[in-house]
Structure 1
Amino acid sequence: MNDHQLLRYSRHILLPQIDVRGQERLTQSSILIIGAGGLGSPAALYLAASGIGKIIICDHDVVDLTNLQRQIIHTNDAIGLAKTQSAKKTLNQINPEIEVLTRHERVTENTLLDLLPSVDAVVDASDNFTTRHTINRACILHKKPLISGAVVRFEGQVSVFDLRYSHNPCYHCLFPLEGEGEDDNLHCATMGVFAPLAGIIGCTQAAETIKVLLGIGETLNGRLLLLDGLGMKWRTINLKKDPACTVCGSTAPRKIN
């Protein structure tokens, strides 16, 4: 690291769990963030500021006035622009030393097959059940850690599915497609969302991503963290791998269907 980087990241370097070696690892890391909205915004901002060397942002949407209440990576001047373009501009202003790549498209199986081999972790900041399951299957296939978050109304949740190891649970173990699961219609546009809640969950995703990349502390792998923002109460649910899971179980097909 050069003197400028040592100064920029000095508060990380002062932490013995990170130190120079850990910060160098972050600068050499690559992550994929899916969604540049309420969760992706704070996650991307803190990961960029923390010095993640390469950040790939995938989002198909454009900035709308209604986004600005919680999607803090975008400004009023960005209305009408692709969210990926707006996010890249902001991240480059925060940390011009990192590389920000964008994919202005709806995430698909082909997108993930193309991008996942080159990244170290995936941040799922998407806003629908179907996309989350597609991401989960791809991360299982490529053995990538998945940092998942969701918010609606005053409720938030975040977890880590460390799919580098086959004994860990996956997203489908928690929310099976063939079960009751979530409702794809639970969107901010119809249900509303408490703006600071997106920041809390998105920042938690950023923190968990850094811990995963550095192998420090205890991540949320095997745990689902739930937040009641109205009562400001946290609750933790322990997760276990479902041996009968049709996606990550021993009899599951090893391909994206």
Structure 2
Amino acid sequence: MTSPDRHDRQRLMPGWDQSRIAGATAVVAGVGALGNEVAKNLGLLGFGRLILCDPDTVAAHNLSRTVLFDANDLGRPKAEAAARTLARVAPETAVEARVDGLVRGVGIGELADADVVLGCLDTRWARLQLLERCTMAGVPLVDGGTHPWGGEVRLRVDPAEPCYGCTLTPAERWGSEVPASCAELGDQPLPASILSSSLVAGWMAATAARQVLGVPLPWRFLSVDIAIGDTAPVLVDRDPECPHHSAIGEPARATVSRDDTVGELLGALPPRSEPLAWAEFPPPQECYRCHGVCEPGYGYREPTIECPHCGDWLRLRRTTRIREASSGTKLAELGIAPHEVLAVRSSDGEYSWLRLG
């Protein structure tokens, strides 16, 4: 007796190819309300692999807008809670949870290997960060946002196309990292419900599926407005000053991975090469008083640290120069993501790209 086919009705859809969906990898950045719905939709569609990236934990206000969380998940990492539920409701989909921010959670090489990336983020800075990394990777990006009675969906297939950054002023492109839900009304979060999340997520999942199936879409920006009953494309012009349009091409491949050490990475590069991390970390620092060495670790977030040798307080310096870390430190301990692509400055000042194994 053959096992029942979960997707037999989908296979009847004109132009549908379940084998292409099953072979596809999608990265979902942000697994709150919008990302929860997107991940659920992609899992039920039968996407072969999902990478869920989110540094936050489940809060009570998430529960009215997230089908992949319940009260037992309060305080747990969102990515892990969503992955656990997806294992039950979409058992054919392999799900990986990355409990970290985008830069430390998913490398540019992994983005390049994905078929599509879906952005479900709540700050302008995070959206632009995702946009830039997808641009460098050359991977299609489906970016979404919501407001109380609707939202937007933005598709960018080619780095040369107009993008979210093109809709912003230069000042807005360097805006705050504070979530819009917290910043725009002071201490009062913005109103939200499952209504707009479910509609925008449906459009995002459908857009991702069409991208994987190779069916082109005639629009790039879509406005969804429940209040007036309208969903319509929006035309956006390319801003020649927008910096988010340069792909990096095919980087060189390294023999080391994030599980190797700083010393092993430096040993695999030409002498005096300067590999750079994407996120700053606090390197070992000498105490001004006793000259002992303090090693706070990359995850240390405070601006000062107490010297373990004399008890004096030091103001920490931060850097992106991997060479400044201890040679025995693993690259993962510096917050470097799996299959990251690093910029490497040569001794003569030229830059190249290096993908970690």
Partner Cα separation in structure 2 for residue 114 and residue 95 of structure 1: 26
1:69 aligned onto 2:61: no
Aligned match of 1:108: 103
CA shift at 1:87, angstroms? 0.3
Aligned match of 1:199: 198
1:31 aligned onto 2:30: no
Q: 1:185 to 1:40 in 2, by over 3 A?
A: closer
Partner Cα separation in structure 2 for residue 174 and residue 168 of structure 1: 12
Q: 1:125 to 1:253 in 2, by over 3 A?
A: closer
Which of 219, 222, 225 is the equivalent residue of 1:225? 222
Match of 1:88, SS?
A: helix
Specify the structure having the higher radius of gyration (Cα): 2
1:178 aligned onto 2:171: yes
The correspondence of residues 151-166 of structure 1 with structure 2, limited to 5 A, is 151-163=146-158, 166=159
Which of 138, 162, 174 is the equivalent residue of 1:169? 162
CA shift at 1:186, angstroms? 2.4
Identity of aligned residues (%): 23
1:57 aligned onto 2:52: yes
The correspondence of residues 118-129 of structure 1 with structure 2, limited to 5 A, is 118-129=113-124
Q: Does structure 2 conserve the Cα–Cα contact (< 8 Å) formed by 1:35 and 1:58?
A: yes
Deviation by residue 1:88-119 (Cα, 9 ceiling, x = unmatched) = 11111111111000100122267342531321
Q: Does structure 2 conserve the Cα–Cα contact (< 8 Å) formed by 1:47 and 1:206?
A: yes
The correspondence of residues 79-158 of structure 1 with structure 2, limited to 5 A, is 79-108=74-103, 111-158=106-153
Match of 1:45, SS?
A: helix
1:14 aligned onto 2:8: no
CA shift at 1:36, angstroms? 0.7
Aligned match of 1:213: 212
Unaligned segments of structure 2, at least 5 residues: 183-187, 250-277, 279-342, 344-357
Q: Does structure 1 conserve the Cα–Cα contact (< 8 Å) formed by 2:24 and 2:212?
A: yes
RMSD between superposed Cα atoms in Å: 2.5
Partner Cα separation in structure 2 for residue 40 and residue 82 of structure 1: 14
Aligned match of 2:243: 246
Aligned match of 1:187: 181
Match of 1:127, SS?
A: coil
Q: Does structure 2 conserve the Cα–Cα contact (< 8 Å) formed by 1:151 and 1:157?
A: yes
Partner Cα separation in structure 2 for residue 114 and residue 180 of structure 1: 24
Count of matched residue pairs: 244
Q: 1:40 to 1:63 in 2, by over 3 A?
A: same
Partner Cα separation in structure 2 for residue 100 and residue 219 of structure 1: 31
Residue type at the aligned position of 2:165: H
CA shift at 1:175, angstroms? 2.9
Q: Does structure 2 conserve the Cα–Cα contact (< 8 Å) formed by 1:152 and 1:186?
A: no
Question: Which stretch shifts more, 139-148 or 193-202?
Answer: 193-202
Question: Which stretch shifts more, 210-219 or 111-120?
Answer: 111-120
Q: Does structure 2 conserve the Cα–Cα contact (< 8 Å) formed by 1:212 and 1:219?
A: no
Match of 2:15, SS?
A: coil
Match of 1:39, SS?
A: helix
**Which has the larger helix fraction?**
1
Question: Which stretch shifts more, 191-200 or 170-179?
Answer: 170-179
Partner Cα separation in structure 2 for residue 89 and residue 199 of structure 1: 20
TM-score by length of 2: 0.62
Q: Does structure 1 conserve the Cα–Cα contact (< 8 Å) formed by 2:24 and 2:114?
A: yes
TM-score by length of 1: 0.85
Q: 1:80 to 1:219 in 2, by over 3 A?
A: farther
Match of 1:55, SS?
A: strand
Partner Cα separation in structure 2 for residue 190 and residue 136 of structure 1: 25
CA shift at 1:84, angstroms? 1.0
